[in-house]
Structure 1
Amino acid sequence: MVTVSLTGASKEDAATVFSVLRTAVPTDRPSDPVPQEQTEDHPAVWTAQFEPAQHRVPTGPPPPLEGSPTATLQGDHVAVDQLCEVLSAAFAVHKRGTASGDQEQEVDLQLRTKRQ
């Protein structure tokens, strides 16, 4: 299981990133939810969990992002690596940092629209 948290993302960018991940691996969310924004003036963190027992790398044109959200992936080493591969296939990814433990790792990625 990998927890994916997005910060610095509009609800549209969060929906785009989660849609890409949902096409590649199972998630704890229904396939068509639109992230809901809070009405208060607080930074939003969009979160979903994915179980990448099997995954497929997305094909086709990369989806555009409005901004450059940060994705934090936490979970099993192999599963986090698989989701990083999926995100790298769809977006331009800059690895901002990692932290590893015995059983889990955390990876921070900056996502941008991939230029063709």
Structure 2
Amino acid sequence: MRGRTGVLDEIDGDPMEGVANLFDVAMVFAVALLLALVLSYNISELLDPTSSVTVVKNPGEPDMQIIIKNMSSIQILNMTEQLGGGQGTRIGTAYRLRSGQVIYVPENETSTPMRI
């Protein structure tokens, strides 16, 4: 009888011991999967804390987003209205000189040109 109780004590262990090992394996797999995803899209700059990256999602669509990562800060800009459309009045003309300077001439002829 004594030998039999000794065998039962060895079998009765912690039933959650195997689950803890499975959790560790799942975490390593998840990290490896995320790293492979980042490397496959060639966007490893997102992981570098000293780099700046701009990503445009859905360009030209009404739900377009611009994601700007500047060093360690991330800013998300959502498109809320169409730019460049609508009604307006002409306020002047801008000219680019050969030197690269831009001169703005207002419609009102009494004003002097401004250099921009």
User: Which bracket does the TM-score occupy, shorter chain normalised?
Assistant: under 0.3
- Of structures 1 and 2, the larger Rg is shown by 2
Q: TM-score by structure 2 length?
A: 0.20
Pick 1 or 2: higher relative contact order, CA cutoff 8 A, min separation 6. Answer: 1
Question: Which has a greater percent of helix?
Answer: 2
